[in-house]
Amino acid sequence: MKAISSDFAPPLKLISPFFSAGVIFYLLSMIALLFFEPSFAYEQMDVAGWLHLFLLGFVMMIIFGAMAQLVPVVLEAGHAVVDVYYVIFPLLLTGASLMVIGFWIIPQILPYGGLLVLVAMIIFAVENMATLKKTTISTLTIKTVAWSNGYLLLGILTGFAIALGFSGYLSINIPLMLKAHVYAVLGGYVVLTIIGLSLILIPMFSLAHGFKEDAIQRAFKLVIVGVGIVFAGALFSQKWLMYIGYTINTIGVLFYIWQIYIIAKLTVRKELDVWAKSMIFAFGSLVFSIMTGLVALVTNDQAMLHATVWFLLLGFVSSMITGHLYKIVPFLVWFERFAPLVGKEKVPMLHEMYSKEGAAMMFNFTVAGVVLGGFGLLFESNMLFKAGASFLFGGALFLFIGMRKMLAYGK
């Protein structure tokens, strides 16, 4: 019998700080957006600060918390040293905060923040690798975890070099290193992790069965190769190599979307809850960002490129995460507080642990915000962009309140 021990599950008190802090960083990111203009350059320090607030504070924080819970489920083995997550959290929290302050106010503290983040991520990657060694099974998701951790380390090392460069401690070609860094972290870690986890979580929550995995196998291989090529192209300043990598990656992501379409067709659960709606919006945004990305690549239109990144980060990545929070957080709380009471007294269902109205408001505000803000960037309209940022702030506020209530449920 193949059993996944409940003993492998880390305690709620270990994981919940990641989710709480991640949502606070999301709220702060959306507040910060209110002060931005729709035309900018990625090399600007304030833009880099916002990207780190969003990517490190929100995306990475939530992914780390989710991985603490999901890695044992996927690997069917307990963590090598689960207690390291007690160390990772304060390091990432402090490191991310210092980096944002470094980008925005005091550049000299950038490398210190970067160093803390580097240490947090090295601990995370090494622990994941050690846990990987314990498993006897080999699935696509497991290979994804291994590759994504490798790219994470590359991304962090290049990021740290950039931090040293910014503060004058190291003489490097910052724009080139920046491309390598962004691609290793965003394409190599975030996208690969999302692809791997999608294959577990989306069929699980939608009750889809009996689908072939050929498309996602291809997606996985193409994204790994593509990210590696772009990384090398950026590092050695070979533009042609980077274009080959972009093309391979785009084909890889198209295969991933095709796999999701196959799963969606076999979905048993037709209920459109906040998770299902978020998934639809996330994949719609991903398709849209691929289209704008291709146009941006051909025309070299900066506004189009900004809209592409916007829909990719706030439409796809963000909605994938926020949608899943409404599934994962109630489960964690339920597992800790109610699972021991099953059979002894009435316990709540997972969907009863959050306000449907609050979740709907979060979703509606976020969709309005992403669409308006995205078009604000596309047409360089300050009014549209500010309207989008305001809606996103509203959505983030509903998410924040919803998260507080979920984590406090049954306390």
- If we measure between CA atoms, which residue out of 59, 62, 20, 27 comes closest to residue 408? 20
Residue found under tokens 């305001």:
390
**Rule CB under 8 A: which of 171-230 touch other proteins?**
200, 203-205, 207, 209-210
Does 271 bind other proteins (CB under 8 A)? Our answer is: yes
Q: For other proteins, which is the closer residue by CB, 47 or 280?
A: 280
> Is residue 350 involved in binding other proteins (CB under 8 A)?
yes
Under DSSP, the state recorded for 360 is H
What are the backbone dihedrals phi and psi of residue 294, each rounded to the nearest 5 degrees, phi first? -65, -40
What is the CB-side half-sphere exposure of residue 135 using CA atoms within 13 A? 26
Q: Of residues 303-332, which lie at the interface with other proteins (CB under 8 A)?
A: 331
CA distances from 160 to 128, 165, 180, 206 (A): 21, 9, 12, 40
Q: Where are the alpha helices (DSSP H) in 207-311?
A: 214-235, 239-265, 274-299, 302-310
CA 409 – CA 411 distance, rounded (Å) = 6
Q: Is residue 94 within 8 Å of 116, Cβ to Cβ?
A: yes
Select from 21-29, 83-91, 343-351, 382-390 the region that touches other proteins (CB under 8 A): 343-351
Among 147, 246, 334, 385, binds other proteins (CB under 8 A): 334
Q: Which two tokens stand for residue 41?
A: 């350059």
Nearest CB to other proteins, comparing residues 106 and 204: 204
Is there binding between residue 4 and other proteins (CB under 8 A)?
yes
Among 175, 342, 404, 410, binds other proteins (CB under 8 A): 342
Q: In the complex with other proteins, which residue's Cβ is closer, 75 or 215? A: 75
Amino acid of residue 117: V
Cα distances from 51 to residues 45, 153, 186, 251, in angstroms, run: 10, 19, 11, 26
Nearest to 59 by CA among 317, 409, 377, 379: 317
User: Among the candidate windows 112-120, 152-160, 212-220, 263-271, which touches other proteins by CB under 8 A?
Assistant: 263-271
Count, residues near other proteins per rule CB under 8 A: 34
The residue with tokens 């590759």 is 147
Q: How far is the CB of 207 from other proteins (least distance, A)?
A: 6
Closest listed residue to residue 274, CA positions, set 325, 198, 348 = 325
Q: Which of 347, 360, 387, 401 binds other proteins (CB under 8 A)?
A: 347
Does position 349 interact with other proteins (CB under 8 A)? The reply is yes
For residue 42, state whether it binds other proteins (rule: CB under 8 A).
no
The smaller minimum CB distance to other proteins, of residues 239 and 270, is found at: 270
Rounded distance between C-alpha atoms, residue 249 and residue 224, angstroms: 8
Q: Is residue 280 a contact residue for other proteins (CB under 8 A)?
A: no
C-beta of 192: minimal distance to other proteins in Å?
18
Given candidates 41, 268, 298, 408, which one binds other proteins under the rule CB under 8 A? 268
Long-range contacts at 41-46 (CB < 8 A, ≥ 24 apart): 42/178, 43/174, 43/175, 43/178, 45/103, 45/104, 45/107, 46/103, 46/104
> What is the smallest separation between the CB atom of 269 and other proteins, expressed in angstroms?
5
Residue ranges in 365-384 that form contacts with other proteins under rule CB under 8 A = none
Residue 140 in the binding site for other proteins (CB under 8 A) = no
Two tokens, residue 338: 């109610």
Query: Binders of other proteins among 61-120, rule CB under 8 A?
Result: 69-70, 73-74
Contacting residues toward other proteins, per CB under 8 A: 1-6, 9, 69-70, 73-74, 200, 203-205, 207, 209-210, 268-271, 331, 334-335, 338-339, 342-343, 347-351
